[in-house]
Amino acid sequence: MTKKTPKSLLRKSGASGAYLIGIDGGGTKMLGVLAAADGRIIKKFKSGPASYHAVGIEQVEKNLREVLENLAGKELDEVKAFCLGFSGCGRPSDYEILDPMLKRVGIFNKTDLFGDMAIGLMGGALEPKGVIVIAGTGSIVYGIGEDGASKRAGGYGQWYADEGSGFRIGNKALRSLFMAQDGRIKPVSFQKPALKLLKLKQTNDLILWATERNKAGTIKPDIASVAPFVIEAAVKGDKMAKQILKEEIDEIVLGVRTVVKGIKSKGLPKVVLVGGLVENNPYYFNAMKKAIQKAIKGIQVSLPKSSPAVGAVIGAANKAGVKITPAFIRNVTTSWKKMEK
């Protein structure tokens, strides 16, 4: 079967000018998007994981080549710029492994490579700058300034960071069950639903359970699954639940203040709150938003406006020197919505 090249797509779509490719590279899949220079998305293609930590650099290279082949075919040279947001990327040691791969593939000089949080920010804010707070199973605060330089706070895993995340909230919640059992604090209302969720009969069962879950490698998401019960308890006024959330939100606020101070910005940057914990729990989102806005007067805080894939296209346009106008944003977001259907 003959693959459509950008030239044939150009005639069919009426697009003109250079092409852009953005890739949302997660731990389970690599989603590539081909767009025209005006922002209109033409085609998407999904391949395997983008985290070399999980599958190795050889497999990541194979997956990337598959995406590029299906999006551009033999016309890869017509793509003016690429933006890749890869899971597990962001430290100097990562670039020492990933940059040579981009050179082998032949796109290094035209590519901006970021961690996946960067394209989450660009898609969430619909511009290549600002601050993103990811609060899901884990967490990180990450920002990009007007000059393209980045700054992070947190994101060092559950044992050292993940402030404001489902894991941290769940961990403190389960710890409070033992405190209540000892009589150090009053009983907490989320004890029964938490133990029921974990299929345990009593608090002491958590000790062996944690050992087994840690060996199985699922300890982080398993503990994070308790967090929604803590949020629900806080809504109903549970004192310990409210204290846990306040402590974790305070940590997020500290991270945001650190990142805002660490990036160059004309005025205050936009802050986007992303991740299952904040997106699926309005109480937690509103509490975090209020705390950030109280700490930094006048700052805008919102849920993401679009997807990381859209953010990758915006990043590619920025790399190519394409002016990101309201018309460009309208084209990329509208065409992406159609593509998702």
The DSSP line for 220-265 is HHHHHTTHHHHHHHHHTT-HHHHHHHHHHHHHHHHHHHHHHHHS--
Asked if residues 154 and 139 have their Cβ atoms less than 8 Å apart, the reply is yes
Arithmetic mean of pLDDT over the chain: 94
Predicted pLDDT of residue 5: 52
Domain boundaries, the chain: 6-119+306-340, 166-302
Fold (CATH) for 6-119+306-340: Nucleotidyltransferase; domain 5 (3.30.420)
Query: What are the beta bridge partners of residue 150?
Result: 144
DSSP state of 140: E
* 339 has pLDDT over 70: yes
> What pLDDT, on a 0 to 100 scale, did the predictor assign at position 4?
52
Instruction: Give residue-wise pLDDT tens across range 71-119.
Output: 999 899 999 999 999 998 988 999 999 999 999 999 999 999 999 999 9
Residue 1 has pLDDT above 50, yes or no: no
Query: What CA dihedral angle connects 272, 333, 69 and 1, to 10 degrees?
Result: 140
pLDDT, tens only, 147-201: 999 999 999 889 999 999 999 999 999 999 999 999 999 999 999 999 999 999 9
Judge whether 5 and 19 are in contact, CB under 8 Å. no
Q: How far apart are CA 204 and CA 308, in angstroms?
A: 42
Rg of the chain over Cα atoms, rounded to whole angstroms, equals 22
The answer for residues whose C-beta is within 8 angstroms of residue 326's C-beta and 6 or more apart is none
Query: Per-residue pLDDT tens for 8-55?
Result: 554 454 444 589 999 999 988 999 999 999 999 999 999 999 999 989
Q: Do domains 6-119+306-340 and 166-302 have the same CATH topology?
A: yes
* CATH fold group of domain 166-302: Nucleotidyltransferase; domain 5 (3.30.420)
